[in-house]
């Protein structure tokens, strides 16, 4: 197998792995979009963020994408929702709600899906090239 094709497979596989991690973080955010604290004044679920980094594979001599870190979105504030019967309601009847914007998460999920599918398409193209090369060598 050509080194270039092997490199393309490795790069695409790492891209799929990174986008899979991104989709997992987005899924956790959506699943916890309504998770409040348990006691008055306690913080609700905080939106997670993911960042990527460039990693050099010294053995193959190629740059790969990897997960740098999974953090917490400290820039977006928690919102307050009036719900005096909730166990986490403060003295004024307001509950801190997570800083998760479900619409934004869904858009991020679509983008992650497209990136994942693009990497999958590259793997399929590389596989087809390998298969055609093998067929040519057989004849």
Tens-digit pLDDT profile for residues 116-128: 999 999 999 999 9
Instruction: Return the pLDDT at 2.
Output: 58
d(CA 99, CA 137): 58
- In eight-state DSSP terms, residue 60 is T
Instruction: Return the pLDDT at 23.
Output: 97
Do 15 and 113 contact (CB within 8 A), yes or no? no
What is the model's pTM?
0.86
Q: How confident is the model at residue 63 (pLDDT cuts 50, 70, 90)?
A: very high
Instruction: Return the pLDDT at 6.
Output: 87
Q: Which residue do the tokens 């991020």 mark?
A: 108
CA distances from 65 to 25, 68, 132 (A): 17, 9, 28
Q: Which residue do the tokens 């960042």 mark?
A: 51
Ranges of each domain in the chain: 3-138
The pLDDT tens digits for 22-33 are 999 999 999 999
Mean pLDDT of 65-83: 95
């Amino acid at each position: 197998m050509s080194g270039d094709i092997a490199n393309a497979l490795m790069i695409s596989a790492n891209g799929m792995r990174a986008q899979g991690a991104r989709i997992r973080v987005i899924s956790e955010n959506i699943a916890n979009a309504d998770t409040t604290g348990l006691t008055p004044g306690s913080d609700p679920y905080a939106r997670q963020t993911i960042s990527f980094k460039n990693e050099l594979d010294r053995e193959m001599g190629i740059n790969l994408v990897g997960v740098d870190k999974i953090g917490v979105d400290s820039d977006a504030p928690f919102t307050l929702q009036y719900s005096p019967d909730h166990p986490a309601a403060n003295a004024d009847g307001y509950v801190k709600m997570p800083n998760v914007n479900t619409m934004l998460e869904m858009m991020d999920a679509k983008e992650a899906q497209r990136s994942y599918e693009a990497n999958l398409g590259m793997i399929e193209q590389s596989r087809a090239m390998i298969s055609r090369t093998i067929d040519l060598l057989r004849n």
